[in-house]
């Protein structure tokens, strides 16, 4: 790997929160992970984020996380940065993971609140700062108040940006596009802002987001990158903006699968339907069953059958 490639991260574009594939024995399928990440890079993604929520990071051992990072780094080489999600039940464990990720070839980190813990804000604040201090890699903060029970306000984010130069980006999964506007009004271009939910990407771009940490991209990377690029170009060209809206309208039934509690199972189900993975998840999760599965399959198959994007297969 080019040693200069690790010097910085271009915080922009579509970065998959990559799913973690498992085999029938509940072991990580590293061979498929390698192939899958290489394929998504070929489709135009700008980074890979392993070990996050969609990657079932909470179920992975420390050793598995390290091997996942190593596998993804080898798969993508210098082409795009690998930016693992950093989360653990304890600050000590998260800081340890942050400190070792660079050794495995990571070029940035996505820092999450601690698992399980729902204490006062000053405890979570300290956790985030300790983890960021454990590395010299650039960091993205992951704000997901619905999932993690803590909300990093725009004012606190702006304050952290003043105190820590390694803090360079925010993934916002609040579901409120006004957050993008509020943060941007406080920090300008100091931080790169990313949409963190699939069904808010176009709104987020129009409010100032420059990137998208995406989920359905695991199954449909070409369509995801095309949608994002048209949303960005549409800021200056009304005709392109209308094209972005057309693609978005078609894509939304699938993108909304990213925004429910069973998002891991459902995104992996989409992967299975397009022959780009398996729906296997690691317990305590189980693949979707009953009405959830039936309804999801109906949405998935109807949406895929009406794909309006021409020449997709030729570009894969």
The answer to whether 160 and 169 are in contact (CB under 8 A) is: no
Which of 55, 49, 50, 16 is CA-nearest to residue 285?
Answer: 55
Residue position matching structure tokens 């890979």: 48
What residues are paired with 141 via a beta bridge?
Answer: 111, 170
Helix (H, G, I), strand (E, B) or coil at 289: coil
Catalytic (active-site) positions: 142, 171
C-alpha 37/C-alpha 48 separation (Å) is 7
The answer to whether 85 and 49 are in contact (CB under 8 A) is: yes
Which of 219, 290, 285, 212 is CA-nearest to residue 244?
Answer: 212
Opening angle at CA 28, ends 225 and 213, nearest 5: 25
Alpha carbon 269 to its chain's center: 17
Residue position matching structure tokens 């989409």: 270
Burial of 50 from C-beta contacts in 10 A (0-12 / 13-18 / 19+):
buried
Instruction: Spell out the residues 6+ positions from residue 227 whose beta carbon is closer than 8 angstroms to its own.
Output: 201, 202, 244, 247, 248, 251
C-alpha 168/C-alpha 170 separation (Å) is 7
CA atoms 46, 99, 67, 273: torsion sign: negative
């Amino acid at each position: 790997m080019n040693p200069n490639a690790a010097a910085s991260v271009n915080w922009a574009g579509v970065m998959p929160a990559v799913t973690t594939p498992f085999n029938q024995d509940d072991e990580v399928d590293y061979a498929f992970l390698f192939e899958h990440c290489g394929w998504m890079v070929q489709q135009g993604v700008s980074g890979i984020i392993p070990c996050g929520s969609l990657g079932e990071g909470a179920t992975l051992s420390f050793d598995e996380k390290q091997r996942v990072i190593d596998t993804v780094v080898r798969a993508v080489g210098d082409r795009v940065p690998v930016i693992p999600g950093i989360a653990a039940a304890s600050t000590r464990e998260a800081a340890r993971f942050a400190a070792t990720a660079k050794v495995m070839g990571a070029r940035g980190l996505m820092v999450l609140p601690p698992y399980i813990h729902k204490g006062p804000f000053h405890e979570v604040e300290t956790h985030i700062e300790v983890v960021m201090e454990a590395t010299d890699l650039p960091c993205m903060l992951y704000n997901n108040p619905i999932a993690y029970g803590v909300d990093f306000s725009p004012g606190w984010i702006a304050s952290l940006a003043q105190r820590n130069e390694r803090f360079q980006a925010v993934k916002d999964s609040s579901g409120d596009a006004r957050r993008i506007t509020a943060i941007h009004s406080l920090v300008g271009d100091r931080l790169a802002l990313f949409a963190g939910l699939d069904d808010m990407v176009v709104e987020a771009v129009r409010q100032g987001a420059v990137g998208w940490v995406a989920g359905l991209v695991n199954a449909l990377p070409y369509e995801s990158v095309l949608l994002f690029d048209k949303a960005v170009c549409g800021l200056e060209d009304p005709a392109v903006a209308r094209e972005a809206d057309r693609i978005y309208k078609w894509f939304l039934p699938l993108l909304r699968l990213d925004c429910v509690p069973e998002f891991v199972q459902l995104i992996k189900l989409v992967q299975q339907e397009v022959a780009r993975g398996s729906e296997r998840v690691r317990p305590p999760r189980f693949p979707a069953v009953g009405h959830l599965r039936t309804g999801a399959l109906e949405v998935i198959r109807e949406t895929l059958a009406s794909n309006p994007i021409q020449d997709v297969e030729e570009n894969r």
